[in-house]
């Protein structure tokens, strides 16, 4: 299911390239413009690197680095020059791309936004990160749900961002909505390496789904990102892995959505996405289809409370220099 990193592409294959992008420092509009140009260059490198490549995936923070700076001058908009340049890069190189922007949000903190753009320059998927990495990240909680789009060669693709992948429910939602390939883009640094690896594999196997996962890479003088591009098949097997931590390396593999579909339809043992909602179908017709999970029903009712809820010590970002929030989710700051 690798085809020598995608060099030998099958009729049903999708070749993915994961860019372990050098972690940048971006503090000004000029630096944002220069970093956008660097990403555009690497889209072209991906195409030159492998003519069979269908989709090139860049990590979270590809334009902004890890400063958590919310200065409006370096935020992006969907109709701004940065997104226009990314669209044109996909057109010029006849390739699909997955990209990351920090998106201006009037009346609140910026959104951490992911985009999938097709080879004609059309935005096929628009996603706002559901689970910012608290208490460190200041981004507005995502409000788009988890979209799934049609991808290259008949595939179905979803995108989640970094910390999202630590919640099994995120990957399950992607699969439940039909995704055969889930992209996970990240800015994680070295302390998260082991959790990154085993959650990527678990997300794949538990959902019979290919996952393609990539982090920023290298140092910005303060933080050391780890690269760790990983492509994992639906059985949880790592088929490509950027272990060297070399910045700007592109990790490639062919994946097979048709084998995902075959497993989801044909497997009996460990057909996890189906069996989750049809418990014990050997004993009872169709299996039990209730919801016996208290945390699910409580969350849906707006009553999610842990037994240790009131003992939790870190519940805001003040320890990392952010002001105490007083705005409820869904509310906007009043215009000045």
Tell me how far CA of residue 242 lies from CA of 191, 250, 285, 315, in angstroms: 17, 8, 46, 35
Q: Which are the contacts of 242, defined by CB distance < 8 A and separation ≥ 6?
A: 18, 20, 214, 227, 228, 229, 230, 249, 251
Q: Which residue has the tokens 């208490």?
A: 135
333 is catalytic: no
332 is catalytic: no
Tokens linked to 191: 């302390």
177 is catalytic: no
Terminal Cα distance for the chain, rounded: 55
Tell me how far CA of residue 267 lies from CA of 231, 261, 324, in angstroms: 22, 10, 50
- DSSP code, position 199: H
Catalytic hit among 76, 98, 162, 174: 162
Under a CB-based contact definition with an 8 Å cutoff, are residues 233 and 205 in contact? Answer: no
Q: Which residue has the tokens 């591009």?
A: 229
Catalytic hit among 76, 82, 90, 129: 129
Q: Which are the contacts of 325, defined by CB distance < 8 A and separation ≥ 6?
A: 316, 317
Catalytic residue IDs: 60, 129, 162
């Amino acid at each position: 299911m690798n085809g020598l990193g995608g060099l030998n592409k099958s009729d049903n294959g999708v070749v993915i390239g994961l860019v372990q992008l050098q972690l940048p420092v971006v503090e000004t509009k000029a630096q944002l413009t220069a970093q956008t140009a660097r990403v555009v260059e690497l889209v072209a490198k991906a195409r030159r690197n492998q003519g069979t490549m269908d989709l090139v995936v860049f990590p979270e923070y590809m334009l902004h680095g890890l400063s958590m700076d919310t200065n409006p001058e370096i935020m992006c908009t969907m109709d701004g020059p940065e997104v226009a340049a990314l669209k044109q890069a996909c057109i010029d190189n006849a390739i699909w791309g997955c990209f990351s922007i920090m998106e201006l949000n009037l009346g609140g903190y910026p959104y951490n936004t992911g985009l999938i753009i097709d080879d004609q320059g059309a935005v096929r998927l628009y996603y706002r990160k559901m689970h910012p990495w608290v208490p460190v990240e200041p981004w507005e909680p995502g409000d788009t749900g988890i979209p799934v789009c049609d991808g290259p060669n008949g595939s179905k693709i979803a995108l989640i961002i970094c910390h999202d992948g630590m919640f099994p429910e995120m990957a399950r939602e992607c699969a439940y909505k039909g995704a055969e390939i889930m992209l996970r883009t990240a800015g994680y640094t070295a302390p998260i390496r082991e959790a990154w690896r085993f959650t990527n594999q678990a997300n794949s196997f538990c959902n019979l789904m290919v996952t393609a996962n990539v982090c920023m890479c290298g140092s910005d003088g303060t933080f050391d990102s780890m690269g760790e591009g990983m492509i994992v098949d639906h059985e949880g097997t790592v088929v490509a892995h950027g272990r060297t931590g070399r910045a700007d390396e592109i990790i490639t593999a062919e994946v097979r959505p048709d084998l995902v579909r075959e497993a989801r339809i044909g497997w009996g043992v460990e057909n996890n996405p189906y069996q989750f909602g049809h418990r014990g179908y050997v004993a009872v017709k169709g299996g039990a289809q209730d919801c016996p999970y208290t945390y699910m029903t409580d969350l849906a009712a707006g009553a999610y409370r842990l037994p240790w809820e009131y003992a939790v010590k870190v519940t805001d970002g003040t320890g990392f220099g952010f002001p105490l929030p007083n705005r409820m989710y869904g509310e906007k700051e009043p215009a000045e």
